[in-house]
Structures are given as C-alpha cells and as structure tokens.
C-alpha cells in the first residue's frame, strides 16, 4: 500500500540553465551582443538554480572571458562544462567554479555526441577528477546510461553523474517510440544504480518542457541542465517566461512523484 501523497518525501530538483547558445548568437556577428552573462543574470532572476556554460576547445560559443565574467558575477552556482584536458583543468582550477562537468568533445561534432568514456579515460581521467575535486570543485561526469561507465565514475571519485538524455529525446522526436521507451528505461535504471553507488544524479541534453517533466518525475534525478531548447523558446517568449515554464514543468513532474503517479 503506497504512502499517502502528503507523506511521500520527494527531494527537490534544480534547474541549471545552459547559456551556450546565447554566445552562439553573439558570435554570429563577432560583436559583444547578446551578452551571455546578461542572459545568465536574467536566468538567475527568473529562478534558475545554477548556470551551465561549456567552454569548448574550439571556443565556438562560450569564450574564456565569458567564463571569467560568469564566475565573477554570478551569485548562483556555476557549472563549468569542459573536456577533460590539461588546458581546461588548469582554467577550471584558476577560476574555481562551484562545479565542473566533464564531457566528451570532438571539434567536428555539431553538439555533444554520446557520453564520456570514463573506462577508456583510464588513470589520466582519474587524476584530473582528483585535481578538480581537491581544488574544491564538485565533479560531474556526463555519461550515457551505461552501467559499467557509472560504476567507473564512482570508482574514480566523481560526486555526480549527469545522464545524457540526448538519445532518448532524439528517438522521441523521430517518432521511434519503442526505442524511446527502451532508452527511458535505461535512464531510469541508470539513475537508480548511480544513487545506490552514492552518486548524485543529474540529467541533460535535448530536454524540452515535456521531457523535462518526465525526468523530474524520477526521484533519483536532482538536477536538469537545459539550454538549447530554452534559448530557442526565449526567441519567441523571452528567457524569463521560458524558464518559469520550465520550472513549472519540472514541478509537475515532482508533483506526480508525490501523488505516486510517476511511471
Ligand atoms: C554536454 C551537453 O549535452 C551540453 O551541455 C553541451 O554544452 C552541448 O554542447 P553544445 O552546447 O556545444 O551543443
Ligand atoms: N549538459 C546538458 C546541458 O547543459 C544543456 O544541453 P542542451 O539543453 O543545450 O541540449
């Protein structure tokens, strides 16, 4: 017999707003506007719990000065997304953001493809995780919902895994429902496994209002990082409205948990 809704303890869920693609628009003309830092401040005022920014090796969108200004300006946590390279570790240790999320990166990719190969990263990756963690930075690894990769993430001392929701979102958009259901089951299992290993569970990539609500109905998921969709919606409704609508969607997901109605 399930507990009455009033007794179900549901942990809060945070929204990290990724401002990469404000910088994409800025860079389209080579000028200073729109300023991604202004977007981050607006996002914070609209209810974002944190800001995520991805300093890519090719600096195609977020640039070093953006990350510095974000660090100097934000009063909410900064999640510095980066490849696990010597260059980026050095920048992160100098800036000391609240958190780093290590992501796979290939110059020729249009966006992040797949999760970090934690197992293949070997001792070098383990050493970089340790360097960041001993600098007081919370380390997250951006991984596919893969059991062995998640075990290895815990083994090398990551505090967080961020589950790559991109495949699931792409399958839904493509109308490949059966495969999407199977991928959601993988994500659900991975979230539970990661929790049992003592990892905090985040999720991100490709999320929109509908898929964010579904992710928020998973009690193991404590943070969603969302960017591209929000920046797109901001073109039509404004960033503040888009963020408020996203938070409402996440709240609906958590409400389903409380009511014992989550899938
Ligand atoms: C890791 C991830 O899914 C995103 O946070 C990442 O920033 C995507 O890269 P782009 O923002 O360059 O598309
Ligand atoms: N780590 C995921 C993220 O920060 C945003 O991804 P997206 O919403 O821009 O696809």
| CA 204 to ligand 2: nearest atom | 2
| Residue 216: per-residue pLDDT | 98
The helix, strand and coil proportions of the chain, stated in percent and rounded to the nearest 5, come to 50, 15, 35
| Residue 108: per-residue pLDDT | 87
**The pLDDT of residue 180 is above 70:** yes
- Are 195 and 220 a contacting pair, CB within 8 Å? yes
Cα–Cα distance, 48 to 246 (Å, whole number):
10
Residue-wise pLDDT tens digits, 237-249: 999 999 999 999 9
**The pLDDT of residue 260 is above 90:** no
Residue-wise pLDDT tens digits, 74-84: 999 999 999 99
Residues with beta carbon inside 6 Å of ligand 2? 18, 52, 162, 204-207, 225-229
| Residue 9: per-residue pLDDT | 79
**Phi, then psi, of 110 in degrees rounded to 5:** -80, -35
Residue 253 CA: distances (Å) to CA of 13, 30, 59, 116, 206: 10, 40, 35, 27, 17
Active site residue 54: yes
- Are 74 and 55 a contacting pair, CB within 8 Å? no
**Distance in Å from the first CA to the final CA of the chain:** 16
Percentage of the chain beyond pLDDT 70 is 96
142 C-alpha to ligand 2 centroid (Å): 11
**ipTM for the whole predicted complex goes beyond 0.90:** yes
Q: What is the CATH number of domain 5-258?
A: 3.20.20.70
Tokens at 108, concatenated: 């020729």
**The pLDDT of residue 3 is above 70:** no
């Amino acid at each position: 017999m399930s507990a009455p809704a009033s007794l179900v303890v549901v942990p809060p869920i945070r929204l990290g707003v990724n401002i990469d693609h404000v910088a994409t628009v800025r860079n389209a003309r080579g000028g200073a506007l729109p300023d991604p830092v202004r977007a981050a401040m607006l996002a914070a005022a609209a209810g974002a719990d944190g800001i995520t920014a991805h300093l890519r090796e090719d600096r195609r969108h977020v640039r070093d000065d953006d990350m510095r200004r974000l660090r100097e300006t934000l009063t909410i946590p900064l999640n510095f997304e980066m490849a696990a390279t010597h260059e980026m570790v050095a920048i992160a240790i100098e800036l000391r953001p609240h958190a780093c999320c290590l992501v796979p990166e290939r110059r020729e990719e249009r966006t992040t493809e797949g999760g970090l190969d934690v197992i293949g990263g070997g001792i070098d990756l383990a050493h970089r995780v340790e360097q960041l963690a001993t600098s007081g930075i919370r380390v997250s690894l951006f991984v596919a919902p893969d059991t062995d990769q998640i075990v290895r993430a815990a083994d090398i001392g990551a505090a967080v895994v961020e589950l790559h929701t991109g495949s699931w979102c792409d399958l839904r958009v493509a109308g490949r429902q059966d495969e999407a259901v199977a991928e959601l089951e993988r994500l659900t299992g991975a979230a539970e496994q990661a929790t049992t290993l003592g990892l905090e569970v985040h999720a991100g990539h490709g999320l929109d209002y509908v898929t964010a609500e579904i992710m928020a109905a998973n009690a193991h998921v404590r943070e969603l990082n969302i960017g591209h969709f929000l920046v797109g919606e901001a073109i039509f409704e404004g960033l503040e409205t888009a963020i408020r609508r996203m938070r409402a969607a996440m709240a609906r997901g958590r409400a389903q948990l409380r009511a014992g109605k989550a899938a």
